[in-house]
Amino acid sequence: MMKRWDVLGPLCGIATGLVAFAFGVQGWRPVLIGVIVAGLFVWAPRFWPEGRYLRWPRVGKRIHRGGSHQVSRLASSISRRNRSGARPDASLQHRLRRLATTKLNRLGISWDDPRVPELLGPAVHEALTTETFSPTIDEIAAIITAIENLDAPADTPGTAHQPTGTSHYPAPAGGPRDGAS
């Protein structure tokens, strides 16, 4: 079976030889140039077949701890449970707690630190440590908001490591609430 480079190779060689002759290369040199080019175009695809591509450069290692991957898994888990009518269970609590633990570790605080209930808010901390975890979607949103606000800059009003709180999980007394004082 004849492949297209078996035909295109010699045609490229002839074209190259004619172009060389047109530019003033004389004698047998245009023929020699054409034969070499034709040989390359016929020989090269045998070692670099069509459909084979060069390797992409190596990309840095993706972060899977508390980043977008973990958040997207959490979001798909919540939406699946919401569509099916089932309530979130302990696996959701575990994912939320892992996300909070990762964010706290970035701040240099362990989960067992006594400041954690103050940083997350007592209601959010209790929800992440209780045995019976069955919040609504709004309560889950409040928990996620409190986790997101953990690494907010301290100079941002209303987010100085204080949860914003909602009607389900209020902010701790004396702390700023959504920018209000």
Who has greater pLDDT, 124 or 59?
A: 124
Q: How far is CA 137 from the centre of its chain?
A: 24
| Nearest Cα residue to 118 out of 56, 180, 57, 165 | 165
Predicted confidence band of residue 181 (pLDDT cuts 50, 70, 90): very low
Residue 127 burial (CB count, 10 A): 24
pLDDT, one tens digit per residue, over 133-170 is: 777 778 888 888 888 888 766 554 454 444 444 445 55
Q: What's the pTM?
A: 0.43
In the prediction, which pLDDT does 175 show? 47
Round to whole Å and give the CA distance between 157 and 169.
Answer: 20
Round to whole Å and give the CA distance between 128 and 108.
Answer: 19
Secondary structure letter of residue 150 according to DSSP: G
Is pLDDT at 178 greater than 50 in this prediction?
no
Is pLDDT at 73 greater than 80 in this prediction?
no
The answer to whether residues 138 and 128 touch, using CB atoms and an 8 Å cutoff, is no
Predicted confidence band of residue 180 (pLDDT cuts 50, 70, 90): very low
pLDDT, one tens digit per residue, over 32-55 is: 999 999 988 888 877 766 665 667
Q: How far is CA 110 from CA 14, 91, 127, in A?
A: 74, 21, 18
**Average confidence score pLDDT of the chain:** 75
